[in-house]
Amino acid sequence: MKAKLIDGKAVSAKLRESLKQEVANLAEEGITPGLAVIIVGDDPASKVYVRNKEKACEELGIYSEKYELPAQTTQEELTELVKKLNQKPDIDGILVQLPLPKHLDEKAIIETISPSKDVDAFHAQNVGRIMIGDYKFLPCTPAGIMELIASTGIPVEGKECVVVGRSNIVGKPMAMLLLHQNGTVTICHSRTKNLAEVTKRADILVVAIGKAKFITADMVKEGAVVIDVGMNRDENGKLCGDVDFDAVCEVAGAITPVPGGVGPMTITMLMRNTITAAKG
């Protein structure tokens, strides 16, 4: 294997140590950050994420509340809960776990969250702030990826950065954060022509498309930093990313594994945002 492994667990553990210290310092000022997590329905993957968020809060000394609502919850009921939490003084951050059941209007719910408590940074106001580079919160997954890239010691400035995927949660904000650090950024998606030609130009390649082992070794530049946001099951039911890890390892300079790459960072960034929110 040629590529250096980017260890998300290790980078995450180090960051959590400093966040834990920050929470302890806030406690001396009488401040306890508080996070409310809402989950609607019983999607198994969402349940795992929510449990991990609770555990992380506990580990760092952050107060947390969990609201598990039935799948048939109405738009009005969910809206009322969010509004109540907007007013609740011991809650600094509100997270509504996505995806919501189909009958609920996700966008309307996100827009109900007070922008100052929107620790996912999904509210249009926070998205706009990111666009102009004047923000308090960064969306958790792209923020975590920036930390992973920083951990390689390779500067983004002037690099060819290619993002595969254009979701509001990952692809679009990811491109913006790379741009803020003076990368030359290209966003690719399902309609991109000659995808392999574009990805092969990348010094930094971020892949978030949700297709198992989609990025093959011939699509990657020698020595590139490869960040895999995917979380899929392969033909044997084993967890795998959007990148064909074994083959791409022989070409890339540094690569994130799945699991143990991007995943652990996302929740750490959520904790960071909750602390930021508590600081006001």
Contact 226, 216 (CB under 8 A): no
Find all residues with CB under 8 Å of 176, minimum gap 6, and list them: 130, 131, 142
Interface residue with ligand GUN, options 95, 148, 251, 277 (CB under 6 A): 95
Least Å distance, CB 97 to ligand GUN, is: 5
Residue 169 or 204: the one with the smaller Cβ distance to ligand GUN is 169
SS3 (DSSP) at 185: strand
Least Å distance, CB 131 to ligand GUN, is: 19
Which of 237, 216, 233, 228 is CA-nearest to residue 263? 228
Residue 30 or 44: the one with the smaller Cβ distance to ligand GUN is 44
92, 97, 203, 242: the catalytic one is 97
Residue 11 or 94: the one with the smaller Cβ distance to ligand GUN is 94
- The answer to whether 85 contacts ligand GUN (rule: CB under 6 A) is no
- The answer to whether 244 contacts ligand GUN (rule: CB under 6 A) is no
Segment contacting ligand GUN by CB under 6 A, of 28-36, 93-101, 175-183, 271-279: 93-101
Q: Which residues of 143-160 are buried (b: 16+ CB within 10 A; e: fewer)?
A: bbbbbbbebeebebeebb
Least Å distance, CB 120 to ligand GUN, is: 5
Contact 162, 204 (CB under 8 A): yes
Q: Which residue has the tokens 């540094």?
A: 254
Residue 205 or 270: the one with the smaller Cβ distance to ligand GUN is 270
- The answer to whether 140 contacts ligand GUN (rule: CB under 6 A) is yes
Residue 142 or 244: the one with the smaller Cβ distance to ligand GUN is 142
Least Å distance, CB 41 to ligand GUN, is: 13
Which of 205, 75, 55 is CA-nearest to residue 145? 205
Q: Please calculate the CA angle 219-221-225 and round it to the nearest 5 degrees.
A: 105
Per the annotation, the verdict on 120 as an active-site residue is: yes
Residue 73 or 199: the one with the smaller Cβ distance to ligand GUN is 73
SS3 (DSSP) at 37: strand
92, 117, 118, 120: the catalytic one is 120
Interface residue with ligand GUN, options 12, 64, 73, 97 (CB under 6 A): 97
Cα(58)–Cα(56) distance, integer angstroms: 5
Least Å distance, CB 146 to ligand GUN, is: 15
Least Å distance, CB 246 to ligand GUN, is: 26
Bridge partners (DSSP) listed for residue 68: 39
Per the annotation, the verdict on 97 as an active-site residue is: yes
Would residue 182 be called left, alpha or beta, if left means φ above 0 and alpha means ψ between -120 and 50 degrees?
Answer: left
Cα(279)–Cα(95) distance, integer angstroms: 18
- Which residues are the active-site residues? 53, 97, 120
Residues that bind ligand GUN (CB under 6 A): 95-98, 120, 140-141, 169, 266
